[in-house]
Amino acid sequence: MSRRFYVIGNPIEHSLSPVIHAAFARETGIPIVYEKRLFAIEDFDGQLQQLLKTEKVSGANVTVPFKTKAYEASRTLSGRARRAGAVNTLSFRKDGQIVGDNTDGIGFVRDVKRLYGENLDKAHVLLLGAGGAARGLLAVLPEFVESVTVANRTEAKAVSLAREFGVFSCPLEGAYGSSWDIVVNATSASLNGAVPAVDKRVLSSASLCYDLMYSRVATPFMQQAQCAGCPNVHDGLGMLVEQAAESFRIWNGIRPTVEPVLFWLRATP
Ligand code: ATR
């Protein structure tokens, strides 16, 4: 019998996770049922308990705005989920235990490795933003690169986050002067059609500019980086597929290949 999984969020209609997991299931030959589930904003815990009471569910991905609630609902946490303070992958054990993991950071690292190349361990990374998305990356990224520096509109948040994760921080407007190999937009500025106020020379001299957001057309940050002259500008679709592949592995024990799915998603209108 196929095991059942959900992706839980609000809103959830836009989620690509069901088609990604369906493709992984076809590729690996592991039959799963994976569907979207809209939770009301209030009482994540109550709705989760109700779901587990009424259906036999093996696991769930959790997206905005419930990743912190999923963290709180987890009885057991992976190290990276504990560090991130957020959970995007829940496993429901037969004994009733809820196990929380966070696959966002490793999903980002795997996609960037593909785009940047094997020298990732020598890279100096400038991370723009100091919210939940930045935390997810900081839980994993520092062990894979030479250095990480956090810059944020509200500088005090960058300073405090950098201290917590043992990385560097610098003022957003003051990032020019050092040389960054990779600049990552982990702000939510794109949601409002805005861009972080970073000097365009920071973007033009980077080997890779990466926006955690993805969209059919270039995001405002991608346009900003392209206009600045960065030769290698990417959105976060690869990270989305990679984090899904890691969740699939946690649940099913096999890591699917991401490239065919990524290629297909890019080609599908
Ligand atoms: P998420 O979970 O997506 O990270 P969040 O926790 O609300 O969302 O964090 C949003 C981040 O985007 C913050 O770092 C925020 O900067 P502030 O701490 O100064 O609020 C950043 N951000 C949002 N809009 C921005 C903008 N127009 N320019 C620069 N940074 C912006």
Question: In sequence order, what DSSP letters do the residues of the chain get, joined into one string?
Answer: --EEEEEEESS-TT--HHHHHHHHHHHHT--EEEEEEE--SS-HHHHHHHHHHHS---EEEE-TT-HHHHHHH-SEE-HHHHHHT--SEEEE-TTS-EEEE--HHHHHHHHHHHHH-GGGGG-EEEEE--SHHHHHHHTTGGGGSSEEEEE-SSHHHHHHHHHHHT-EE--GGG-BTB--SEEEE-SSGGGGT------HHHHHT-SEEEES---SS--HHHHHHHHHT-S-EE-SHHHHHHHHHHHHHHHHS-PPP-HHHHHHHHH--
pLDDT tens for each residue of 110-151: 999 999 998 999 999 999 999 999 999 999 999 999 999 999
Of 217, 207, 208, 265, nearest in space to 240 by CA: 265
Would the CB of 133 count as within 6 Å of ligand 1? yes
Would you say the CB of residue 85 lies under 6 angstroms from ligand 1? no
Dist CA 89 CA 54 (whole Å): 20
Band of pLDDT at residue 250, cut at 50, 70 and 90: very high
Substitution site in 187, 211, 212 for ligand 1 pocket (most atoms within 8 Å of beta carbon):
187
pLDDT, position 269: 76
What's the mean pLDDT in 179-207? 95
| pTM as predicted | 0.96
Ligand 1 centre to CA of 246 (Å) is: 26
| pLDDT above 90 for 1 | no
Asked, as a colleague might, if the bond just before 11 is cis with ω within 30 of 0, I would say: yes
Q: Kindly give the number of the ligand 1 atom that is closest to the alpha carbon of 135.
A: 4
Summarize pLDDT for 51-75 with one digit per residue, the tens: 999 999 999 999 999 999 999 999 9
Q: Which of 96, 74, 44 is nearest to 87 (CA)?
A: 74
56 catalytically annotated: no
pLDDT computed for residue 93 by the predictor? 96
Average pLDDT, the chain: 96
Answer whether 187 contacts ligand 1 (Cβ < 6 A): yes
Exactly one of 67, 69, 94, 113 is catalytic; name it.
Answer: 67
- Give the Å distance between the CA of 31 and the centre of ligand 1: 39
The pLDDT, as a whole number, for residue 118 is 84
**Closest ligand 1 atom number to CA of residue 188:** 12
